[in-house]
Amino acid sequence: MKITVVGAGAVGASCAEYIAIKDFASEVVLLDIKEGFAEGKAMDLMQTATLNGFDTTITGTTGDYSKTKDSQVAVITSGIPRKPGMTREELIGINAGIVKDVASELIKHSPEVTIIVVSNPMDTMTYLAHKELGLPKHRIIGMGGALDSARFKYRLSEALGCPSSDVDGMVIGGHSDTGMLPLTRLATRNSVRVTEFLSEDRLAQVAEDTKVGGATLTKLLGTSAWYAPGAAVSSLVQSIACDQKKMFPCSTLLDGEYGLKDLCIGVPVIIGKNGIEKVVEIELNEQEKAKLKESAEAVKKTNGLLE
Ligand SMILES: NC(=O)c1ccc[n+]([C@@H]2O[C@H](COP(=O)([O-])OP(=O)(O)OC[C@H]3O[C@@H](n4cnc5c(N)ncnc54)[C@H](O)[C@@H]3O)[C@@H](O)[C@H]2O)c1
């Protein structure tokens, strides 16, 4: 299984590293436009192979898409990240052009590829990739919810004072500070609803901390985070590569599911060798439905900026 990661920056390199450490892919190609950068990152990562015990080959290239030929999965992380105080939506001007160019280059060399879009504003970039490429909808996946859910579980474990492995939960909706919808009602600790353990106020705080999870890190780091984003992408790639059929909330082109149409937004999906194999429609209560609708309206507004 050959995997391409476009953008050898913070998220792209972290993603390549986790894919290699999980050791399920034969080859990862890192591509960047900055001269020598992807080659350097690839060489540095390859020098961890004996230390971390993986056999995946990582190569780097400056802009040569012929090296990405016949990739089964390609991840788009190219584009600028947020600086403190910025919203993801503010990145649209620069990132739309980059995502458009990168997506069409990828498809020229790997017509069968499944694309995972990471660049922000991610829901709109995923929609743009659909509009630009016209691929079957299961082959374009936006990564946001897998990361937001990991952040949600971290915040829940903090509130519960328990290991994250005890906790399960999911964030759906738009990948933005205001659009995320952490499903506190459905989150569990070892199959017991967390509502049994945490007060309404504490859960509201968990949800709020989750929603601003990216902004909190951007403030601390001076740029957006990369370890958890890289790990989240690698989990999606692995689910495709190993046909695991895991369920993640991902941004997908909806056509009536959840009463929404003609936009990409985070909902639970099954990820397997064909990309998005199924959209899972869960029962939401009236309040959750209203929040998802509001989130969808905000995503559509950002999509409107593409015109
Ligand atoms: N979806 C998510 O959950 C999520 C999480 C974190 C970051 N992000 C987004 O991912 C993107 C990357 O973040 P980062 O922290 O890795 O940024 P970064 O600046 O560290 O890396 C971006 C890389 O893209 C490269 N690049 C720019 N234009 C390119 C092009 N046309 N072709 C190939 N490479 C190109 C740059 O040279 C740079 O190395 C940002 O848009 C960020 O907002 C999304």
Kindly indicate the confidence band of residue 90, based on its pLDDT and cuts at 50, 70 and 90. confident
**196 and 246 inside one domain:** yes
Contact 250, 142 (CB under 8 A): yes
Kindly indicate the confidence band of residue 83, based on its pLDDT and cuts at 50, 70 and 90. confident
pTM score over 0.95: yes
**Is 201 in a helix, a strand, or coil?**
helix
Please state, as a whole number, how many other Cβ atoms lie within 10 Å of the Cβ of residue 255: 10
Q: What is the CATH number of the domain that holds 177?
A: 3.90.110.10
DSSP E strands in 79-178: the ranges are: 114-117, 140-142, 167-168, 171-173
Segment 23-51 shows an average pLDDT of: 98
- Atom of ligand 1 minimally distant from the CA of 143: 1
Instruction: Determine if residue 205 is left, alpha or beta; phi over 0 gives left, psi from -120 to 50 gives alpha, anything else beta.
Output: alpha
130 is catalytic: no
pLDDT tens digit sequence for 144-153? 999 999 999 9
**211 and 288 inside one domain:** yes
Number of domains in the chain: 2
**Is 273 in a helix, a strand, or coil?**
coil
Establish whether residue 122 lines the binding site of ligand 1, counting it when its CB lies within 6 angstroms of any ligand atom.
yes
pLDDT tens digit sequence for 123-165? 999 999 999 999 999 999 999 999 999 999 999 999 999 999 9
Is residue 307 predicted with pLDDT exceeding 80?
A: no
Pairing of strands 246-255, 73-76: unpaired
**91 and 149 inside one domain:** no
Establish whether residue 146 lines the binding site of ligand 1, counting it when its CB lies within 6 angstroms of any ligand atom.
no
